[in-house]
Amino acid sequence: MPVERMLETVGKSGIAALAQTRKWLDALRPQESATPRGGETRFVPEPLATVGDETESNDMWGFADTAFEAKPNGDVYLTGSRYELSNQRLPTLLPWVQGVMSVTIDPLDIRTWPAPTGYPAPIANAAFQSEIATFLAGDQWSLDGAARLRHGHGHTQEEMYAIKFAKLGRIPDLVVWPTEEQQVIQLVEAAKAHNVVLIPYGGGTNVTDALRCPENETRTIVSVDMRRMNKILWIDPVNRMAFIQAGAVGRHIITSLARYGWTMGHEPDSVEFSTMGGWVATHASGMKKNRYGNIEDIVLDVHVVTAQGKIERSSVGPRESVGIDPRLWLFGSEGTLGIITGAVVKLFPLPEVQNYGSILFPTFEQGVAFMYELAHAGNWPASVRLMDNLQFQFGQALKPASEGWHVQKSKIEKIFVTQIKGFDPTQMVACTLVFEGAKEDVAAQEARVYGIAAKHNGMKAGAENGSRGYQLTYSIAYIRDFVMKHWVLAESFETSVPWSQVIPLCEGVKKRVWDEHQKRGLPGTPFITCRVTQIYETGVCVYFYFAFHYKGVENPTAVYHELENVARDEILAQGGSLSHHHGVGKLRQEYLPKIMSDAGLSWRVQAKKALDPTDIFGCHNQEAAPAAAPIAVPIVTPAPAKRARATSKAGGAA
Ligand SMILES: Cc1cc2nc3c(=O)[nH]c(=O)nc-3n(C[C@H](O)[C@H](O)[C@H](O)COP(=O)(O)OP(=O)(O)OC[C@H]3O[C@@H](n4cnc5c(N)ncnc54)[C@H](O)[C@@H]3O)c2cc1C
């Protein structure tokens, strides 16, 4: 969802107007710009802002009113009206995908799934239930099967496939929704007293199987959904901090802070649904980390309830040296050490200017060379992303049908790029940019970026293409469930890698996946593409997107997992990390011994045992040896496709 859309509550004028308003207010209060001299600096903001219908889908990504759908003639639409792409006719998407994957995708050949029934009976713990009933209201806990199922998974392809076409296996026995920290403390005490497992739940957006229940757990498993603890408890504009409860969802945090002229600057691609606590627990990274930092740079303090009691501090310094700091252990803890109840974060004024940009490069190598030089030139844009050729083409295939003058315009642009500038459409790549800050800083950044780009044969491709690239981020997240219905399994995985290995890693992973796909005789050709999403002085974060056509393939989700592991082996062999920001969960835990010494692994095990001796936080993430059995996916050859008529809620003619 575009940030501007999220800002509807504060008016259409968006970020620039808010920044301007804040400036006028500042000018009217000159005493506030003087050095502060003590006194109360905090205020309690209005409750978090919600906009319209926020119902989320239970078995697909995102809002319930939004999904890609194919019309019988092959045109694709995104239903609803939330995104720029919503309700637009996408005539080239399916033909392009078919060409790239060398398969036929019949828009009427839809793999449907039944609504889930017959949820596993919950393992009851009567003593625990009667204790929590003394401090939770009736609407703060549920044994409902659908709620329990939704709380038993995140968004890995394995999980999303299993809930549709197979079986998830063990799911939580009970879901609870605490509304205040004291209730979390009581829940942990009750869990200790009655030997119950607690699994904290944020937005359920993780892609590591982190929320999946250990298959062999015989104790009652309780999913602690934090989303009713969603307040900003205070904002301190003088010292530029805010205290945000763990269950606050990203989109609400953005709109609520923006009302007062602030941002915390953390915008992962999942920002619409992921939560403050989830970001800390997974060690997340946002697309604008160049300007605002990764989550560990933004968070100053974390409140957490552990099996040993509550961890909190008496003050929040801008930076401290206080010996071994338990707060730092929470980053990447993935629910294993306690329940995060809130975090103090840095605040930044809303930028005076937000400009988008885009650059075309003749080849991926030239794009990477540009990024390398930029990384060492300083004063980076808030975000800079480089798509390889396939992903660039994918972006083009997602362009709505154009009419009138736009048809001519895009023809002329194509001729200019390919015939006059001589860019090869099968090699060229695109870089998208977001610049944020004071007007003069942004102007300086733009001059530097485009100057460096020119040295690498880069060609400015305009703000519109840049903006479109970032808006697509949110709608593209809906594609995986769409293609799954059309017999294509797709997933992304990421890594970080030093500069010298960027090209070898990207090429190596693509080749390995391609070879393994061919070796297994899978249908058509694989879809494997990458983009560089974050830059550092020392290297980058690379995202891969991999998809294959699975019609007639036995146990396709396990095949996907195998191929992803092959890719991961290659990533590690090329000097890449296990993950830049998605984390470990259960999906990648078997790799821990490959990246960490025995002593390192032992530290983790010993620490967990000492801090949580009865394993109350027993989600069993990050265990070097898998504790949970793989998701139970029966070996079946998919039934012959039903020729279902594609239905669409989207307007527009088929
Ligand atoms: C489409 C898509 C885009 C994504 N883009 C990004 C991205 O750009 N950057 C990025 O970093 N990640 C991204 N992710 C991954 C995911 O969104 C992040 O890992 C996110 O931080 C998870 O937050 P959540 O609130 O959804 O946590 P959940 O999925 O609910 O939980 C994740 C883990 O954190 C634990 N946890 C959650 N809340 C708490 C708490 N209060 N206390 C203790 N433990 C807790 C859970 O037990 C679990 O182990 C993306 C995922 C998807 C599907």
Whether ligand 1 lies within 6 angstroms of the CB of 283 is answered as no
In the chain, helix, strand, coil percent, each to 5? 35, 20, 45
Given the CA of residue 340, which atom of ligand 1 is nearest to it? Answer: 42
Given the CA of residue 287, which atom of ligand 1 is nearest to it? Answer: 8
Whether 487 and 94 have beta carbons less than 8 Å apart is answered as no
What does pTM read for this prediction?
0.91
Q: So what's the pLDDT on residue 584?
A: 97
Q: How confident is the model at residue 651 (pLDDT cuts 50, 70, 90)?
A: very low
- Residue 24: is its pLDDT beyond 60? no
> Closest residue (by CA) to atom 50 of ligand 1?
270
Distance 111 CA to ligand 1 centre (A): 28
Whether ligand 1 lies within 6 angstroms of the CB of 201 is answered as yes
- Residue 342: is its pLDDT beyond 60? yes
Strands (E) across 307-409 are located at 309-311, 339-346, 348-349, 353-361, 383-387
Distance 106 CA to ligand 1 centre (A): 34
Q: So what's the pLDDT on residue 413?
A: 74
Q: How confident is the model at residue 30 (pLDDT cuts 50, 70, 90)?
A: very low
Q: How confident is the model at residue 633 (pLDDT cuts 50, 70, 90)?
A: very low
Q: How confident is the model at residue 15 (pLDDT cuts 50, 70, 90)?
A: low
Q: How confident is the model at residue 529 (pLDDT cuts 50, 70, 90)?
A: very high
Which amino acids are annotated catalytic?
Answer: 543
Q: So what's the pLDDT on residue 22?
A: 58
Give the pLDDT confidence of 607-618 residue by residue, as tens digits.
Answer: 999 999 999 999
Distance 154 CA to ligand 1 centre (A): 8
Spell out the domain ranges in the chain.
3-37+228-349, 353-573
Residue entry with tokens 């620039």? 16
- Residue 37: is its pLDDT beyond 90? no
Whether ligand 1 lies within 6 angstroms of the CB of 269 is answered as yes
- Residue 550: is its pLDDT beyond 70? yes
- Nearest partner of 453 among 479, 425, 429, 417, judged by Cα: 429
Give the pLDDT confidence of 280-289 residue by residue, as tens digits.
Answer: 999 999 999 9
Range 30-43 average pLDDT:
76
How many Å apart are CA 111 and CA 13, to the nearest integer?
A: 43
Given the CA of residue 281, which atom of ligand 1 is nearest to it? Answer: 34
Q: How confident is the model at residue 48 (pLDDT cuts 50, 70, 90)?
A: confident
Lowest mean per-residue pLDDT among 18-32, 306-320, 380-394 = 18-32
Distance 107 CA to ligand 1 centre (A): 33
Whether 72 and 647 have beta carbons less than 8 Å apart is answered as no
Range 23-41 average pLDDT:
65
Distance 247 CA to ligand 1 centre (A): 11
Q: So what's the pLDDT on residue 631?
A: 52
Q: So what's the pLDDT on residue 630?
A: 45
Residue 161's contacts (CB-CB under 8 Å, 6 or more residues apart) are 484, 489, 556, 557, 633
CATH hierarchy code of domain 3-37+228-349 = 3.30.465.10
Whether 339 and 12 have beta carbons less than 8 Å apart is answered as no
Element (DSSP H or E) covering residue 533? strand 527-535
Q: Kindly state the percentage of the chain with pLDDT values over 70.
A: 89
> Closest residue (by CA) to atom 5 of ligand 1?
269
Range 11-24 average pLDDT:
51
Range 540-565 average pLDDT:
96
Range 86-90 average pLDDT:
96
How many Å apart are CA 111 and CA 164, to the nearest integer?
A: 10
Whether 547 and 464 have beta carbons less than 8 Å apart is answered as no
> Closest residue (by CA) to atom 44 of ligand 1?
335
Answer with the residue of higher pLDDT: 11 or 247: 247
**Average pLDDT score over the chain:** 90
Query: How would you classify the pairing of strands 383-387 and 527-535?
Result: antiparallel
Q: So what's the pLDDT on residue 176?
A: 98
Q: How confident is the model at residue 653 (pLDDT cuts 50, 70, 90)?
A: very low
Whether 361 and 434 have beta carbons less than 8 Å apart is answered as no
Residue 392's contacts (CB-CB under 8 Å, 6 or more residues apart) are 428, 429, 430
Q: So what's the pLDDT on residue 19?
A: 55
Give the pLDDT confidence of 403-458 residue by residue, as tens digits.
Answer: 766 666 677 777 777 777 788 999 999 999 999 999 999 999 999 999 999 999 99
Whether 330 and 302 have beta carbons less than 8 Å apart is answered as yes
Lowest mean per-residue pLDDT among 235-244, 409-418, 458-467, 482-491 = 409-418
Q: So what's the pLDDT on residue 117?
A: 78
The fold of 353-573 is Vanillyl-alcohol Oxidase; Chain A, domain 3 (3.40.462)
How many Å apart are CA 349 and CA 297, to the nearest integer?
A: 16
Residue entry with tokens 């550092």? 536
Whether ligand 1 lies within 6 angstroms of the CB of 375 is answered as no
Q: How confident is the model at residue 355 (pLDDT cuts 50, 70, 90)?
A: very high
Range 469-478 average pLDDT:
93
Whether ligand 1 lies within 6 angstroms of the CB of 204 is answered as yes
Give the pLDDT confidence of 179-215 residue by residue, as tens digits.
Answer: 999 999 999 999 999 999 999 999 999 999 999 999 9
- Nearest partner of 61 among 147, 164, 175, 177, judged by Cα: 164
